[in-house]
Amino acid sequence: MPSVELSERLRPHRKDLVLAAEATFKGYNGKLPDKAQFSRLVTVCGEASCAEEIRNYLRYQSSRDRAPWDEEFARVVLKGIEGVLAKPELASDEARVEAWKLFATFLSRAFTYEKACRTPAGAGAPPPPQGARQDMQQGQQPQQGRKHHGR
């Protein structure tokens, strides 16, 4: 099936995939994989020929010594996409892999947001330029001579 046709067939399911990806992090407070692991998942999805390959990859990653994926989190991810993959119109391997590609991309984006929410305010971020915080709180532009990076 041409990728344009498959993409159109998946369009009605994109919202469900986004919501499933975001819901993966709700109620889970355990160890999260590094950002690179989500990028690897997207790559695995791009190379897979069936959804079972992707499931196998996540199970393998979560069972390794010093596993990059927590076993509980891998189960949550697999359960998260189950409902979408169970839809009859996504019965083919091609459609299921394409759904996984979208899900993995949305999961990666949701991770970035979740990580920012879990990080204490200001942790790891450079401090604003001297006086910029007060100017911004008062709705003023930073004074001349001060560098302001818009962060």
Give me 127's structure tokens: 């401090």
| pLDDT tens for each residue of the chain, 151 residues long | 567 788 888 999 999 999 999 999 998 989 999 999 999 999 999 999 999 999 999 999 999 999 999 999 999 999 999 999 999 999 999 999 999 999 999 999 999 999 998 887 655 555 445 554 444 445 454 444 444 444 4
34 in any annotated domain: yes
78 in any annotated domain: yes
CA 150 to chain centre: 25
- The answer to whether residues 107 and 77 touch, using CB atoms and an 8 Å cutoff, is yes
**Helices 51-63 & 35-47 angle (0-180, nearest 10):** 150
Q: Which of 76, 86, 98 is nearest to 28 (CA)?
A: 76
Q: Which residues have C-beta within 8 Å of that of residue 131, sequence separation ≥ 6? A: 142, 143, 146
10 in any annotated domain: yes
Domain of 71 in residue numbering reads as 3-137
11 in any annotated domain: yes
79 in any annotated domain: yes
What pTM did the predictor assign?
0.76
Q: Give the number of domains in the chain.
A: 1
81 in any annotated domain: yes
100 in any annotated domain: yes
